Amino acid sequence: MTTVRREAFGRMPPEEGGGEVEKFILLSDSVRVEILSFGCIITALETKDRDGQFSDVVLGFDTLEGYTRNHPFFGAVVGRVANRIANGRFTLDGKEYQLFLNNGPNSLHGGAKGFDKVLWSPQVLPNGVRFFRLSPDGEEGYPGDLKVWVTYTLSGRELAINYQAQTSKTTPISLTNHAYFNLAGQGSQDVYDHEISIEADSYLPVDDTKIPTGEVAAVQGTGFDLRQPVELGKHLQKFHLDGFDHNFCLHQGQDRRLVARVFHPPTGRTMEVHTTQPGIQFYTGNNLDGSLKGKGAATYPKHSAFCLETQNWPDAVNKPHFPNVLLHPGEEYNHTTWLVFNTA
């Protein structure tokens, strides 16, 4: 049985149009999730350790103000296109589109005011909540009126996130949730003792602005071979890696498949990621620097969390040999990711 509660979380600042922000609390016997109508943000996710003790395993803030200020997309749904588009530029049907550059020379996670920074319209479901918004033609430089639905449902140990969209003009679209996890509990200093595996035979090498070079490289014999579980801290040391911020190429297909698993031996917590998406961005919080005051006055230093963002491949709109990222009128974008929490 899942129960769903809604409560007021705050008001948007007047310069952002005011507007009530609500928090939705999804509760099963083993998982508790809190989600905002602002940015569809997961503000808390509590799950049990092997002794049955609950801890909140996602980074975030105690107040709305934390989320309306500049932060690295904690818990948010990002779009219209997750990840980076080179030079913020792409061409469709002979017309060039220029996006806002918010990540060096590139556009990241939808631009200056992406889906993470807007109010969505909520609808309570028996076991979750569905959010809707219309992204107007030309918003952040993207073509077409885009109707978007993001649905969170909780069933026992499993949180499902479904993304649907329809457009009036051909547009690139790639949606993901950008939650930062630490299975030791948010506020823990690092994720070095986590064991991770990703079911991917290849990954995308990137240039110094984190744009894929276009090569699809085999993981075999490299530090990107995570097909068998590795202890993160030791693995980064062994391969002299500063961290991960890379797309791993998943087996293509529309069916649900297990793509990643994380295990935290001290607490026994495990998290599995299942998805229908073609890629997963593994990010180890390399840009966290301890400057943000998070929940319960916690600070979040470098490598104090990991993200497993299921999505299309970065810059796919400019790379024809990458999976198709275009949505056409009359079609439906429809992807689901499932997060399964357990103990071992």
pLDDT in tens, 81-103: 999 999 999 999 999 999 999 99
Q: Where are the chain's structural domains? A: 3-343
- pLDDT tens, residue order, the chain (344 aa): 999 999 999 999 898 888 999 999 999 999 999 999 999 999 999 999 999 999 999 999 999 999 999 899 999 999 999 999 999 999 999 999 999 999 999 999 999 999 999 999 999 999 999 999 999 999 999 999 999 999 999 999 999 999 999 999 999 999 999 999 999 999 999 999 999 999 999 999 999 999 999 999 999 999 999 999 999 999 999 999 999 999 999 998 889 999 999 999 999 999 999 999 999 999 999 999 999 999 999 999 999 999 999 999 999 999 999 999 999 999 999 999 999 999 99
User: What are the tens digits of pLDDT across the range 167-211?
Assistant: 999 999 999 999 999 999 999 999 999 999 999 999 999 999 999
- Which pLDDT value is given to residue 205? 97
Place of tokens 């479904």: 162
DSSP 15-64: GGT--EEEEEEEE-SSEEEEEESBTT-EEEEEEE-TTS-EEE-B---SSH
Do 219 and 225 form a contact (C-beta atoms < 8 A)?
A: yes
- CA separation for the pair 206, 294 (Å, rounded): 30
SS3 113: coil
Just list the catalytic residues. Answer: 178, 309
For the segment 7-16, what is each residue's pLDDT rounded down to a tens digit?
999 999 898 8
What fold does the segment set 3-343 form as a domain? Answer: Beta-galactosidase; Chain A, domain 5 (2.70.98)
Residues belonging to the binding site for beta-D-galactose are 83-84, 178-180, 245
As a whole number of angstroms, the distance between CA 250 and CA 313 comes to 10
pLDDT at 252 (0 to 100): 85
- The whole-model pTM stands at 0.97
Amino acid 17: pLDDT: 85
Residues 6 or more apart whose CB falls under 8 angstroms from that of 189 comprise 301, 304
